[in-house]
Amino acid sequence: MKTETRPATPLNFIVLLVLFGASGLVLWMRPEVSGVATFGFVVLGWVIGLCLHEFGHAASAAAFGDYSVKARGYLTLDPVVYINGPNSIVLPVLILVLGGIALPGAAVLIRPDLIRHRWQSSLIALAGPVMSLIFALISYGAAQVAFAQAAPDVFWQALILLSFFNLMAFVLNLLPIPGFDGFGVITPLLPQPLRGMAERLERRPWISLLALVLIFLFGFPLIYALLGLVAGTLGLDLDGMRPAFDRFTFWN
């Protein structure tokens, strides 16, 4: 079977990192524009987190035998190759900006026929949320270092907000809902015919859309409770995200 290939380069990810660093420098040096600067810094950081999330799926799939992910350019961290329709990169950024919900979308195309064992498919689904968690911890650690070095409040608080969003992505993605990574972790381990039923549910995108609407309308108390539980277990103090979130939504 011929594998679709697409041009990919790490240069795009390097440019993304440079822009992220430049926006952080503006946030540090020009606190009078902290609203716009916080917005740019966090959105660029969120896109980096999305790339790392999808790279986690791709790298684990490649390790378990799916050679097609390399041919498609997923292992370069190039954000352009993760744009597979509006559900990837574009939609997560819009949802974050408009609704404050941090949820990566489906982007990496994986060939299940090349994965040898079902438990490996579960690990591939789990790898994305784990990368979101790792990036959340890195962002939090950077905020603690910045705070210890007497950095401007607007800077380290923006890092806390970035950590918060990636922690939210970790929690949301592990929900056992069709289309979410948590469902992808469980499905390969189910016995037949339950696995077949679950796979059919995953092919119905309206279920994921309905779940997002329900979470947005009714689910935030549960999500915040889960976030608090995870943050408390990890020893993370996320109070600094509140003033940063107010600056992030500067248009309000």
Query: Where in the chain are the domains?
Result: 11-248
Residues 122-168 have pLDDT tens digits of: 999 999 999 999 999 999 999 999 999 989 999 999 999 999 999 99
- For the segment 20-49, the average pLDDT, to the nearest whole number, is 93
What's the mean pLDDT when you consider all of the chain? 87
Which of 30-44, 175-189, 206-220 has maximum average pLDDT? 30-44
Which band of pLDDT confidence, cut at 50, 70 and 90, is reported for residue 231? very high
The whole-model pTM stands at 0.89
In the structure, what pLDDT confidence band is assigned to residue 178 with cuts at 50, 70 and 90?
A: confident
Active site residues: 54
Mean pLDDT over 243-251 rounds to 90
How long a stretch of residues is the chain?
A: 252
Tell me the per-residue pLDDT of 111-134, one tens digit each, with 9 for 90 and over. Answer: 988 999 999 999 999 999 999 999
Q: Among 6, 116, 130, 18, which Cα is nearest to 68's?
A: 6
pLDDT of residue 106: 66
